[in-house]
Structure 1
Amino acid sequence: MQRPDSSALRERQSDGDYLLPAYEDWCFSRIPGTVADVLGADVGPRLPEAATDVYDDISRVVVFLVDGFGLAQWDGERERIPFLRRFERAGRVTPLTAVYPSETAAAMNTFHSASLPSEHGVVGWYVYDPDTDEQFEALPFLRKDGSTPERIDFEDVADAESIYPELADAGIETHQVTPFPNDSTVPHTYDPEDLSTFSESFADAAREASDPSYIFAYLPQTDAVAHAEGVDSDEYRETAAETFDRVAEAIETLAETSNDDDGQTLVCLTADHGLIDTVPEENVDLSAPPFELVSDLRTLTDGTPIRYSGSARNVHLHLRPDRIDPVYDLLTAELDARVLRKQDVLESELFGPNPSETFEHRLGDLVVVHRDSSVWYGDEDRGKLDFVAMHGGMHPDEMLIPFATATLDSLGD
């Protein structure tokens, strides 16, 4: 199978103004299996061979994941960031789709487990778990009031096993350069508010890793700035430029610490999702007229309405049984959005095939995916409606991401 260009993948996966995940081949979910396969291990489905068929004798894979830097962002910044053009000349940029939902909590659980959202059950940034009567943020593992959930353990947030023990069993050493440690890998933490600390931590990982090895580096800075300022802002462009300056510096560090007797190093750049700019004044408040949905929601056992499930671009409504049909009719009449019933979601395999019990229990009675606006509860969480750049839905700019690859040697030429 040939690598697709972005227009071909977009055309194939388009469903009107929306874009569906390509779980069967060119999808973010297959990156973990691809990394493992290149290093001689098997942890799950990989991308088609055409994604990496020009690379051999690979003893180290380094993945830089820049949160929210989708294909639209790559194309939008490539003229301003020379490093992106240099990477294109040295290697290749393969378009992929994100998983659905196109948001970090679901995507990163997929990335670390090689399982789909339909399997691991993290349905969005927020999760309502009826089996434990908890609603919480999946990343970080906190309730909305900042307290730690008491009736569910962090290990049970995702119904999936990490890939890293399998990599270790295959003799592959994994190092992670992230703001938070992962106990099943060698951690190198840094302060996400100070990108200079990323460089220091990455240098430690590059020096300490023994091949065959896998170094994963996560950079969330562009996503955070985009929420507040939007993609079309000076603040976003400055942060993107600084981020890729640090990535370029990290690649130089790799070259300085590489051993000529080892095999080649494969460098990959990717993202968990892209971004779209919303118009905050046009975002939809479900707690206000004509919706006023809070009274229609089911509640926790203490009477708290179940607001926090999914996200503002991937709203999961857990409704009182007698209110499902009226709310469906209201939303389809008032919103430029896909409003999906639970059975529709399962039949379409939007979150992936083979749904687990955990996923089915957490899935909303209705899932609301607006074409290009945010939809949330202004009475308790107004900040989400004030965000400019958002993600989580099925807009092509959210769903198309780059998977850029090049050998370390080619980047040095």
Structure 2
Amino acid sequence: MSVPPAPALPVVGDGLLDRLLPSVATSLGVAGLARPGDRVLEPARRAVVVLVDGLGAELLARRGGHAPYLRGLAAAPGSRSVACGFPSTTATSMATFGTGRLAGEHGLVGYEAYDPATGRAFNELSWEDGPAPRAWQPHPTVFEAASAAGVEAVRVGPGFFDGSGLTEAALRGGRFVAASSLAQRVDATLAALRTRPRALVYLYWGDLDKVGHVHGCGSWQWGEELEAVDAELRRLAASLPPDCALHVTADHGMVDVAMDRRLDVAHEPDLAAGVAEVSGEPRSVQLHCLPGAVDDVLAAWRGRLGEDAVVVTRDEAVSAGWFGPVEDRVRPRIGEVVATMTGELAVGDSRRHRPELLALVGLHGSVTLDEVAVPWLCAPARRA
């Protein structure tokens, strides 16, 4: 069967999320992380990097009336948008952010990832029944590099993140500080900055993403949560020491998908035929096929999804650079067929997905600008 080349991923702003944390660490004097073409930041003694889960650049631009501080920061000369990479999902982007590598190298290739050793997919957020995290993702992280260079690396987030599979795979290194509310995490961040003259502090906040999933990113609830985030980040910025730079980013954006625009593999015999295992997520599905079934699966999914999706083989997706450079150990984790949604469409599988997941309003994972573009907002260190 003749397969047309997979399209290139959209170009977003100035670069990719994989270069953000290495550039920040380099500005703190950590050697060995810079690559040709990396952004050169002003030197600083300390830096805070805030990752607001689900704060897409397009969403911030549209709903910036709820975020006067972030809106102003977005207009500052040093701020820009970057692409989070593919797929545009938390597990993948966290590893991209933490390691400075794209999915084809770090190997966290989706919300649910196929483990060739077991022949089954596992959830890379919960890591339930998953492989040893450091074997699954063996590359060192930027936090490990910073610690080795004498920079105090501190990660601030919810307590259950400490030692989790995703954290150990993607964000290990330095020390972890647990805090619940965003206000408590801001306070913990400021306290961590006072412990060492050279520090890299990472603050994670996930409630904006949660609200978007449950109520939709177009909802009043999303705007209300953005207002709360904006107020706390304004307080953080006003309280930073003069030698500390601030960077605000995200792991992906989001789109709302109506329930009548959903397909369920469990009730679509033509989509289930020839498929041994489904991984990825509803906006970017990876299909692991039975022997000899790739061409039939490809044709069936193209025919059923039509112009609302791009459906390609793994080889085509890899050749087009969707996952970045792909290591041999990672290639079998990617489905032989990859279906990524470009229209208002999602494909779930009630045989494996909980009803709560199938009921989510806001989704992400695909290649649209709303899902891929994330902000890189910068407030350079002030001169004392």
What TM-score bracket applies, with the shorter chain setting the length? Answer: 0.7 to 0.9
Question: Which residue of the partner structure matches residue 164 of structure 1?
Answer: 143
C-alpha distance in 1 between matches for 2:26 and 2:190:
25
Query: Is the 8 Å Cα contact of residues 12 and 373 (structure 2) preserved in structure 1?
Result: no
**For each residue in 1:139-160, what CA deviation from the matched residue of structure 2 results, as whole angstroms up to 9, or x when unmatched?**
2211xxxxx34xx212223242
Aligned residue identity for 1:391: H
State the Cα distance separating 1:199 from its structure 2 match: 3.2
CA distance in 2, matches of 1:374, 1:324: 21
- 2:334 alignment counterpart: 363
SS at match of 1:101: coil
Q: Which residue of 1 aligns with 2:17?
A: 28
Count the aligned residue pairs.
365
How far apart in 1 are the matches of 2:35 and 2:244?
A: 19
Partners of 1:375 and 1:106 in 2: how far apart?
Answer: 19
Partner of 1:337: 309
Q: Give the whole-Å Cα distance in 2 for the aligned partners of 1:153 and 1:317.
A: 24
In percent, how many aligned pairs have the same letter? Answer: 25
Tell me whether 1:384 sits opposite 2:373 in the alignment: no
Change (3 A) 1:72 1:126: same
Say whether 1:349 aligns with 2:321. yes
Q: Distance in 2 between matches of 1:401 and 1:386?
A: 25
Q: What is residue 231 of structure 1 aligned with on the other side?
A: 217
- Trace 1:5-404 onto structure 2 (pairs within 5 A): 19-20=9-10, 26-45=15-34, 48=37, 51-52=39-40, 55=42, 57-88=43-74, 91-142=77-128, 148-149=129-130, 152-179=131-158, 180-181=161-162, 184-191=173-180, 194-208=181-195, 210-254=196-240, 258=241, 264-289=243-268, 291-293=270-272, 296-298=274-276, 306-307=277-278, 309-335=279-305, 336-353=308-325, 355-372=326-343, 373-381=345-353, 382-404=355-377
Contact 2:63/2:223 (8 A) holds in 1: yes
CA contact (8 A) 1:97 1:400 kept: yes
CA contact (8 A) 2:248 2:375 kept: yes
Cα distance between partner residues in 2 of 1:272 and 1:92: 19
Q: Distance in 1 between matches of 2:47 and 2:295?
A: 50
Contact 2:193 2:199 in 1 (8 A): no
Q: Give how far 1:234 is off.
A: 1.0
Which segments of 5 or more consecutive residues in structure 1 lack a partner in the other structure?
1-14, 143-147, 299-305
Deviation at 1:245, TM superposition (A): 1.6
| Residue 4 of structure 1: aligned partner | none
Query: Is the 8 Å Cα contact of residues 98 and 272 (structure 1) preserved in structure 2?
Result: yes
Q: How far is 1:58 from its partner?
A: 1.1
Task: Report how far residue 88 of structure 1 moved.
Answer: 3.9
Render the CA deviation track for 1:212-261: whole Å, top value 9, x for unaligned: 2111111111111101111111111111111222222222332xxx3x6x
Deviation at 1:66, TM superposition (A): 0.7
Q: Distance in 2 between matches of 1:157 and 1:197?
A: 32
Residue range with higher mean Cα deviation, 321-330 or 198-207 = 198-207
Checking the alignment, whether the CA contact within 8 Å between 1:228 and 1:389 is kept in structure 2 is yes
Shift of 1:316: 0.9
Q: Distance in 1 between matches of 2:207 and 2:309?
A: 29
User: Alpha carbons of 1:344 and 1:90: their partners in 2 closer, same or farther (altered >3 Å)?
Assistant: closer
Q: Mark the CA change 1:240 to 1:93 in structure 2 (over 3 Å): closer, same or farther.
A: same
Q: Name the SS of the counterpart of 1:322 in structure 2.
A: coil
| Cα distance in 2 for residues equivalent to 1:239 and 1:284 | 30
| 1:366-411 Cα deviation digits (max 9, x unpaired) | 011011321120333244332211111001111111111112539x
Question: How has the CA–CA distance of structure 1 residues 159 and 338 changed in structure 2, closer, same or farther, with 3 Å as cutoff?
Answer: farther
Contact 2:25–2:142 (CA under 8 A) maintained in structure 1: no
Runs of 4+ in 1 over 6 A off after TM superposition: none
